[in-house]
Chains A and B, each alone.
Chain A
């Protein structure tokens, strides 16, 4: 069975600084990896995905993530954080053979002005 670990419940970063939200995964076969963001009292919003190809994927709102097969990681990054980036971030994985997503426990990102 697949699993996702987000080791940090909370990440604080100053506005303008780079941010990283960590994600590691365990899956049989090739993984399909996703990042979603959730604002208060809202559903999940898709940010980016890795299916195949270039290990660095770019997504919405200036976010990017790097797929590292040897470390089984898919960390979310942004070069310069905004206060409006403050939200709950979820990493998710599915093996190529499945459809439903398995989510991590989420990381609360707070960008301080």
Chain B
């Protein structure tokens, strides 16, 4: 079946611009996660959605970062006023449930801020 898809695969933007990254989870998966992978910081949790519950935003590094999940499916991660330190690969994952369920990852969006 179809896995997690993310778009775009690559994004180059100028410092100060806003960007939107999209994630399509596996159909039927109720939990959705965003992570960031960078050379200096490794893999970091950003935000988590489960069903209709309020998202867990505890990993967002600043208020320039936000995310939404529409209709319990597609999610968009928005970074406002991008900075060079935002350059990283942004990974989306989904799972059937939360505790104990393995997460399935998309291929990621490589963001480069110039």
Chain A residues in contact with chain B, CB under 8 A? 32, 34, 36, 41-46, 49, 51, 90, 94, 96-106
Partner of A43, one of B48, B56, B106: B106
Chain B residues in contact with chain A, CB under 8 A? 4, 31, 33, 35, 42-43, 45, 48, 50, 56, 59, 91, 93, 98-100, 102-108
A53-B62 Cα distance, complex, nearest whole Å: 40
Number of A-B contacts (CB under 8 A): 53
Contacts of A100 in B (CB 8 A): 33, 45, 48, 56, 59
A97-B107 Cα distance, complex, nearest whole Å: 28
Which residue of the partner chain B has the closest CB to A100? B45
A1: min CB distance to chain B, Å: 11
Contacts of A102 in B (CB 8 A): 45
A90-B48 Cα distance, complex, nearest whole Å: 20
Contacts of B98 in A (CB 8 A): 99
Are the CB atoms of B43 and A99 closer together than 8 Å?
no
